[in-house]
């Protein structure tokens, strides 16, 4: 497919590049040209490519030409931590402390799930990601095969990460998955990981460290989500989870932690030294009363940050606009400083920061040769007017209702309320409701 987007405002998310008027050309799954206009009057202005004035020759024929009507094109959001298959628990396991939530609600119902269940439940999540402008997900759940199949069938880009623990999966399965999904080009890739320190034996964690060493690969896990988790690890090993995992060699080749709420100065220094990503999930941490992550401290010390929604059982919605607002607002509250976390930094965490955390280096910004993972934001709505500062509008007043198009890998999967995922959404809804009825019978 050759698609031309014209008469657009463009936010590439490249460092220090402001919004400009222009065009984006897509061929196959790549961005082939980005053209900058001298002004917003499409058809009358000169174009500039990387600062060189030229009138580009338009490929003929285009498969589709889309007049953006002054709306914003930008990179899609990267949901850097989620559990797509948990859609069945939305608003079913609420208003409980984390451990009780897990042990009395989540784990018993998850034990009844089949791979086919997870496949359909993950497709429901994909629909929600698309409405939120999310073009890539970093997904940890029970059946990687089912989640991968759901993403491939709907067109969603997915980085799988193992939820290995004492009760599910195995080191052998993790190794097979790593080799399989990273040899196949396309929408699905794979990173090493495990559920959390508190669900894994020392022996199992040493096995993960050996895999990381063998593949020179980063490792990801839930980390320091609650004060209780940190205290229990101290009692077991005399160290915080971060220090303990580092002592085993888990972080020798990078990676990151999900949540990272209760971190000591030593923990943060390990993250800085190892180049680890702190992947924050503010809505989930609030709902489960886990705490507020020290995002301003991470930023000040150079610890890279990405943003995730967490799963639809603990959030309950997969909405990056809400997450962005909470990242900046909670930081201001925690630091008692309204200037502690600039909205532009948060927008970068939600786009390029997530791409780097997920090792999707060709999906971070809009640029020639990058993957065509982009979204269009409708600026012609009251919450985006006036256009005093569009990037800050996105963080402080933007919502899912502003997403009018989501493109992944060069395919428009969602546009103006219509999904193009190979299946009618009503059929997905019905199937998921049937699954819930069986699990709770």
Q: Which residues pair with 33 in a beta bridge?
A: 25
* pLDDT score recorded for residue 398: 98
Q: Above 60 in pLDDT, residue 333?
A: yes
pLDDT at position 145: 95
Confidence at residue 3, expressed as pLDDT on a 0 to 100 scale: 98
Burial 408-420 (b: 16+ CB within 10 A, else e): bbbbbbbbeeebe
Residue 426 lies in a domain: no
Structural domain total, the chain: 2
Q: pLDDT by residue (tens digit) across 9-25? A: 999 999 999 999 999 99
Domain boundary among 336, 357, 378: 357
Q: Are strands 157-161 and 134-139 parallel, antiparallel or unpaired?
A: parallel
Which pTM value belongs to this model?
A: 0.95
Same domain, yes or no: 81 and 70: no
Integer angstrom CA distances of residue 438 from 2, 43, 102, 425: 45, 58, 20, 20
Q: Is the pLDDT of residue 52 over 70?
A: no
The closest alpha carbon to 152, from 142, 160, 141, belongs to 160
Indicate if 116 and 232 belong to the same structural domain: yes
Above 60 in pLDDT, residue 206?
yes
11 and 95 part of one domain: no
Residues 151 and 288 reside in one and the same domain? yes
Task: Find the domain containing 57 and state its range.
Answer: 2-75+364-419
Residue 238 resides in a domain: yes
**pLDDT grade, residue 60 (50/70/90)?**
low
Q: What residues pair up with 307 in beta bridges, in sequence order? A: 280
Count how many Cα atoms sit within 13 Å of the Cα of residue 306 in the half-sphere of its side chain. 32
Q: Which tens digit of pLDDT belongs to each residue from 388-409? A: 999 999 999 999 999 999 999 9
Confidence of residue 105 (pLDDT cuts 50, 70, 90): confident
45 pLDDT above the threshold of 80: no
Q: Which residue would you say has higher pLDDT here, 54 or 121?
A: 121
The reply to whether 165 and 220 lie within a common domain is: yes
Q: Give dist(CA 401, CA 133) in Å, integer.
A: 10
Q: What CATH number corresponds to the domain at position 256?
A: 3.20.20.140
Asked if pLDDT for residue 86 goes beyond 60, the answer is yes
In the structure encoding, which two tokens stand for residue 388, read together?
């005093």
Q: Are residues 260 and 133 in the same domain?
A: yes
Place of tokens 């490249």: 14
Question: pLDDT at position 44, please?
Answer: 41
**Residue 325 counted as domain residue:** yes
Residue 39 backbone phi and psi in degrees, to 5: -155, -175
In a domain, 214, yes or no: yes
H/E element holding 4?
strand 2-10
Task: Tell me, yes or no, whether 292 and 214 share the same domain.
Answer: yes
* Cβ atoms of residues 50 and 368 within 8 Å: no
CATH code for the domain in which residue 375 is found: 2.30.40.10
Q: 290 and 387: one domain?
A: no
Residue 441 included in any domain: no
Q: In whole numbers, what is the pLDDT of the chain averaged over residues?
A: 94
Q: Please check whether residues 345 and 272 belong to one and the same domain.
A: yes
How would residue 99 be classed by pLDDT, with cut points 50, 70 and 90?
A: confident
Residue 109 is assigned to a structural domain of this protein: yes
pLDDT tens track for 221-248: 999 999 999 999 999 999 999 999 999 9
Together in a domain, 383 and 294: no
Residues 134, 20, single domain; the answer is no
Residue 38 pLDDT exceeds 60: yes
Mean pLDDT confidence for 65-78: 98
Q: Which of 293, 288, 286, 234 is nearest to 258 (CA)?
A: 293
With pLDDT > 90 as the criterion, what percentage of the chain qualifies? 88
pLDDT at 96 over 90: no
Q: Does residue 181 share a domain with residue 71? A: no
Q: Is 152 helix (H, G, I), strand (E, B) or coil?
A: helix
- Rounded to an integer, the average pLDDT of 336-352 is 97
Q: How confident is the model at residue 47 (pLDDT cuts 50, 70, 90)?
A: low
Instruction: Write the pLDDT tens digit of every residue in 246-273.
Output: 999 999 999 999 999 999 999 999 999 9
Range with the lowest mean pLDDT among 126-130, 214-218, 287-291?
287-291
Q: Is residue 353 part of a domain?
A: yes
- Give domain status of residue 436, yes or no: no
320 pLDDT higher than 80: yes
């Amino acid at each position: 497919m050759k698609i031309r987007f014209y008469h657009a405002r463009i936010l590439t998310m490249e460092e220090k590049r402001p919004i400009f008027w222009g065009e984006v050309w897509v061929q196959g799954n790549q961005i082939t040209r980005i053209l900058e206009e001298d002004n917003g009057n499409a058809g009358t202005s000169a174009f500039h490519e990387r600062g060189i004035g030229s009138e580009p020759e338009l490929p003929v024929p285009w498969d589709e030409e889309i007049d953006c009507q002054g709306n914003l094109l930008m990179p899609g959001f990267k949901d850097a931590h989620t559990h797509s298959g948990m859609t069945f628990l939305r608003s079913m396991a609420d208003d409980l402390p984390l451990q009780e939530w897990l042990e009395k609600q989540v784990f018993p119902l998850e034990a009844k799930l089949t791979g086919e269940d997870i496949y359909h439940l993950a497709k429901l999540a994909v629909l929600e990601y698309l409405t939120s402008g999310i073009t890539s997900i970093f997904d940890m759940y029970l059946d990687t095969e089912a989640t991968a199949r759901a993403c491939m069938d709907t067109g969603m880009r997915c980085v799988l990460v193992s939820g290995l623990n004492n009760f599910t999966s195995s080191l052998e399965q993790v190794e097979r998955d790593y080799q399989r999904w990273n040899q196949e080009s396309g929408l699905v890739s794979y990173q090493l990981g495990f559920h959390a320190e508190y669900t894994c034996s020392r022996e199992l964690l040493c096995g993960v460290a050996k895999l990381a060493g063998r593949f020179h690969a980063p490792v990801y896990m839930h980390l320091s989500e609650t004060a209780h988790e940190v205290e229990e690890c101290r009692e077991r090993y005399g160290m915080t989870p971060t220090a303990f995992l580092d002592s085993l060699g888990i972080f020798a080749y990078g990676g990151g932690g999900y949540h990272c709420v209760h971190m000591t100065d030593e923990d943060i220094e390990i993250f800085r030294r190892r180049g680890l990503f702190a992947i924050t999930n503010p809505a989930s941490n609030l709902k489960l009363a886990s705490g507020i992550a020290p995002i301003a401290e991470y930023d000040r010390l150079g610890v890279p940050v990405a943003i995730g929604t967490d799963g639809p059982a603990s959030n309950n919605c997969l909405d990056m606009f809400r997450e962005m607002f909470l990242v900046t607002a909670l930081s201001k509250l925690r630091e008692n400083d309204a200037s502690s976390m600039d909205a532009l930094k948060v927008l970068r965490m939600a786009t390029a920061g997530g791409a780097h955390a997920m090792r999707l280096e060709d999906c971070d910004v809009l640029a020639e040769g990058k993957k065509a993972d982009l979204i269009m934001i409708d600026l012609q709505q009251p919450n985006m007017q006036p256009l005093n500062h569009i990037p800050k509008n996105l963080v402080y007043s933007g919502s899912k209702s502003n997403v009018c198009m989501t493109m992944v890998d060069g395919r428009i999967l969602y546009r103006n309320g219509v999904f193009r995922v190979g299946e009618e959404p009503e059929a997905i809804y019905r199937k998921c409701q049937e699954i819930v009825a069986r699990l709770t019978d």
